[in-house]
Amino acid sequence: MSSQTLTTVMFLLVVALTVGITFWASRQGSGTTDYYSGGRSFSGFQNGMAISGDYMSAASFLGISGAIALYGYDGFLYSIGFLVAWLIALLLVAELLRNSGRYTMADQLAYRMRQRPVRTAAATSTVIVSIFYLLAQMVGAGSLVALLLGVSSESLKNLTIVGVGLLMIFYVTVGGMRGTTWVQIVKAVLLMAGTVLITILVLAKFGFNISDLLGAAADNTGKGEAFLQPGLKYGVSGTSKLDFVSLALALVLGTAGLPHILIRFYTVPTAKDARTSVLWAIGLIGAFYLMTLALGFGAAALLDTSEGSKVQASGGNLASPLLAQAVGGGEGSTGGALLLAIISAVAFATILAVVAGLTLTSASSVAHDLYANVIKKGTASEKDEVKVARISAFLIGGVAIALAIPAQKLNIAFLVALAFAVAASANLPSLVFNLFWRRFNTRGATWAIYGGLIASVGLVFFSPVVSGGPTSLFVNHDWSWFPLSNPGIVSIPAGFLLGILGTLTSKEPEAEAAHDELVVRALTGAGAEAATSH
């Protein structure tokens, strides 16, 4: 069997497995709590796996190892921010949100504030963050499939994007949160197993001596010790250094504001289980990022990463799959073909699980926040709400497909970093103020959300990412005046400041009075939503 056929078979196996899971999950219950939160019946460990599956995206698996393969040490900087960020989720967000919210990020804000404005604001930022993140995954899927099947045709890439889009709509409309969660759990198992396997094979090549592996990477890339030191990517100029600080802030503050991560805390019965799930997630994600070091430096040591090589041409995205082929025996060998097919299928499963989580999150927010509470003012029946959630999943999937096809020029890691920056600027300020600041009110919340949103997206629009630079979206025009490609260093403080300003320029005694109830509920679980029993 040729390598391409093998890879195709593996992809189809992943699709069959996830479709089967979704059908099975769809028969487990059909109320709103089932659809949005999987009946809140997952254990802390299961949810920890699902969180890892939701979080470790194509940008993590293919992107970070690829960045290390190309830029050495600077690629590693991403994973540190991605991991440390989980402490904010653990210490300040997970348990309190589980106790005081219900289905969406907006629930906790709506507890104190005037529902309609804050739900509209939160739903807007939920959909925007999720769409940026979705685009990254779908663009990744398109180039991955095209490169692996050895066809670089535009129509195949577009076909893949449409296929991934249809699959994610299927998972979300049919399986709801329960189906999505199981897809993510299976993906986490596959991803960890695949990564452990390749890591062991790589380390074995160097007698499990890390220093030798690093030395080989430094030699093979021809960059010497500089490859193992910070600065190859971000140390070029003062601007690039500032850009790196800006990126680092977005990574560490963004995770706890990502809507698709936040709603995962509602799938467990109690706040203690939410804590357990974050602890598992930290362990799994941390272990995974440590292994990406071996994958990235292994790829640098064993593959050709020079100008014009396959790794370089894919922007690093193919480093892991090609490394799997190399340690399996190289091109043309059965072992190499098998490992390449396995790791490619794992990457594909990774993408599918993440896009399903994102689509579900957006659909839930549109149905629960906008339809049920803003438009219907709480009078919609459960059945109608779930129906609207399914229709929204279709619409959002359609929008994502339509946007992903022209967005294929955009860099995946950049799109993901932008989603983190928007989450940190628009969502984190109001989540934190809502819990810990009694004076906080509706105007503060809406100003923080819209302000953070406009600042982060607006600054990118006026950055060299969109116009004026050699790699810009619009090469022939230049309206850029903001020098950095990561907006976080300006937009995150802007989100917090606008939250403070909006709060201080208005008075809302109801919101202040409701703070006591919210805090009691958040810290003790008194009155928190219970799990449904089947």
Question: In this structure, are residues 396 and 135 in contact, taking their beta carbons and an 8 Å threshold?
Answer: no
- Spatial neighbors of 474 by CB under 8 A, at least 6 apart, are 466, 467, 468
- 3-state SS class at 467: strand
Q: Is 33 in the site for another protein (CB under 8 A)?
A: yes
H/E element, 117: helix 115-148
86 belongs to the binding site for another protein (CB under 8 A): yes
Which of 253, 251, 249, 241 has the alpha carbon at shortest distance from 483?
Answer: 241
Residues touching another protein: how many (CB under 8 A)?
Answer: 69
CB-count exposure of residue 332 (10 Å: 0-12, 13-18, 19+): exposed
CA 249 – CA 29 distance, rounded (Å): 41
Tokens of 8: 């195709």
Q: Kindly list the distances between the CA atom of residue 171 and the CA atoms of 187, 304, 357, 439, in Å, as whole numbers in the listed order.
A: 14, 38, 9, 42
Which residue, 18 or 199, has its beta carbon nearer to another protein?
Answer: 199
Binding status of residue 266 toward another protein by CB under 8 A:
no
Nearest distance in Å: CB 17, another protein: 32
Give backbone dihedrals phi and psi of 244, rounded to 5 degrees, phi first: -65, -40
Which residue in the set 11, 61, 73, 132 belongs to the binding site for another protein (CB under 8 A)? Answer: 73
Out of 9, 91, 204, 402, point to the residue binding another protein (CB under 8 A): 91
Count of alpha carbons within 13 angstroms of residue 14, beta-carbon side: 29
Nearer to another protein, 294 or 352 (CB): 294
- Establish if 440 lies at the interface with another protein (CB under 8 A): no
Identify whether the C-beta of residue 234 lies closer than 8 Å to the C-beta of residue 241: yes
Contacts of 243 (CB under 8 A, 6+ apart): 234, 484, 485, 486
> 256 and 88 in contact (C-beta within 8 Å)?
yes
The residues in 219-248 that bind another protein, with binding defined as CB under 8 A, are: 225, 228-231, 234-235, 241, 244-245, 248
Contact between 523 and another protein per CB under 8 A: yes
Choices 140-148, 277-285, 410-418, 468-476; region in contact with another protein by CB under 8 A: 277-285
Instruction: Out of 28, 158, 200, 215, point to the residue binding another protein (CB under 8 A).
Output: 215
Write out the binding residues for another protein, residues 111-140 only, by CB under 8 A: 111-112, 115
Yes or no: say if 432 and 211 are a contact pair by the CB < 8 Å rule: no
Single residue of 304, 382, 384, 512 touching another protein by CB under 8 A: 382
The answer to whether 264 contacts another protein (rule: CB under 8 A) is no
Q: Which stretch binds another protein (CB under 8 A): 185-193, 299-307, 453-461, 524-532?
A: 524-532
**Contact between 335 and another protein per CB under 8 A:** no
Q: Is 345 in the site for another protein (CB under 8 A)?
A: no
Q: Which parts of this chain interact with another protein (CB under 8 A)? A: 31, 33, 73, 76-77, 80-81, 83-84, 86-88, 90-92, 95, 101-102, 107, 110-112, 115, 210-212, 214-215, 218, 225, 228-231, 234-235, 241, 244-245, 248, 252, 272, 275, 278-279, 282-283, 286, 289-290, 372-373, 377-378, 382, 513-514, 516-521, 523-527, 532
